[in-house]
Amino acid sequence: MNKEELIQQLNEKHLEDIIELIEDAEEGYLEELELVESLGLVHDNELNTKVIELLKSLGVNIIYVTDDE
């Protein structure tokens, strides 16, 4: 799945906030992102993985924190 297909899927699921994260990463405004690994960014596991992979490819450092942090 390429970036355009990923963004199209996010649009279809009304996940504009995730698209904004991607845009911020592309523009250099997002350098790191803290995530609770068990929650991720989106409920769809495959889509979540693709979004995280894209953010990493755009230079975003993903920092996983535990549920209690």
Q: Residue 18 corresponds to which tokens in the numbers above?
A: 């995730």
Mean pLDDT, the chain, as a whole number?
93
Note the pLDDT tens digit of each residue in 30-48: 999 999 988 888 989 999 9
Beta strands of 10-58 (E only): which ranges?
32-36
C-alpha–C-alpha distance, residues 9 and 33, integer Å? 21
pLDDT, position 26:
96
Note the pLDDT tens digit of each residue in 14-23: 999 999 999 9
pLDDT, position 61:
97
C-alpha–C-alpha distance, residues 13 and 44, integer Å? 10
Angle between helices 3-12 and 16-26 (to 10 degrees): 150
pLDDT, position 69:
53
Cβ atoms of residues 42 and 13 within 8 Å: yes
